[in-house]
Amino acid sequence: MEASFESLGFLKQDLKRRLKTPIKSVTFYAHLFLAVLAGGGAGIWYTMYQDGFAMEKLAAALLTYFPALVAAAVIDFTHEEQPYLRSFGLLSGLVFFVIFMAAITRASTSHWQFFWAFVGTVFAILFWWFANGEKPCFKDVVAINAAGGETVNRPLPGNTKGWNVHK
């Protein structure tokens, strides 16, 4: 197979598939809600518990959350087989860096800082979704081989007397 330089089309197809694939997956949602949003966002939940919706503190919590989530997703993308997916992950990291810089340079106006931190967080969660949408570990049903594995070594069910096996 010859290498292709038409990766934008492939990227569009891959991202569309990665967006749709986990929509009906209980396992994917369990990881998303329990690990990414609840566990990973514990600092945000704690800030909201302590200070309610204080813009400065909530923006600071979001500013520590979304870069960590983006970094994890970038690592997932850099382990993909296709070079265009690895490149997409790295280039997306640059976009998130720009969003992060927009947020931290708006420290004097808490509303803008919160806005950019919130935008970064929403897109970081979507980015994580794309990075993990087709991971085998999130599949709800794993196919079991019809033959092979440990099932070959088990004795056959039923009465097998009278059968001769020549070695």
Quick check: is 8 in a domain? Answer: no
Q: Which tens digits make up the pLDDT trace of 77-109?
A: 999 999 999 999 999 999 999 999 999 987 777
From residue 112, give the alpha-carbon distance in Å to each of 4, 24, 75, 117, 146.
Answer: 42, 36, 29, 8, 58
Q: Is residue 56 a part of any domain in this protein?
A: yes
Residue 61 has what pLDDT?
95
Task: Tell me the residue range of the domain where 102 lies.
Answer: 27-137
Taking each helix axis from N to C end, the angle separating 83-104 and 55-78, rounded to the nearest 10 degrees, works out to 160
Residue 110 lies in a domain: yes
Q: Would residue 160 count as lying in a domain?
A: no
Report how far residue 37's alpha carbon sits from residue 46's, in angstroms, rounded to the nearest whole number: 13
pTM of the predicted structure, to 2 decimals: 0.79
16: in domain: no
Residue 14 lies in a domain: no
Residues 152-167 pLDDT 10s: 666 767 777 777 766 5
Count Cβ atoms within 10 A of the Cβ of residue 112 and give its class: 0-12 exposed, 13-18 middle, 19 or more buried: middle
Tokens, residue 80 = 């993909």
Residue 113 placed within a domain: yes
Residue 113 and residue 103 in contact, taking contact as beta carbons nearer than 8 Å: yes
Q: How many domains are there within the chain?
A: 1
Please report how many Cα atoms fall inside a 13 Å half-sphere around the Cα of residue 4, on the Cβ side. 9
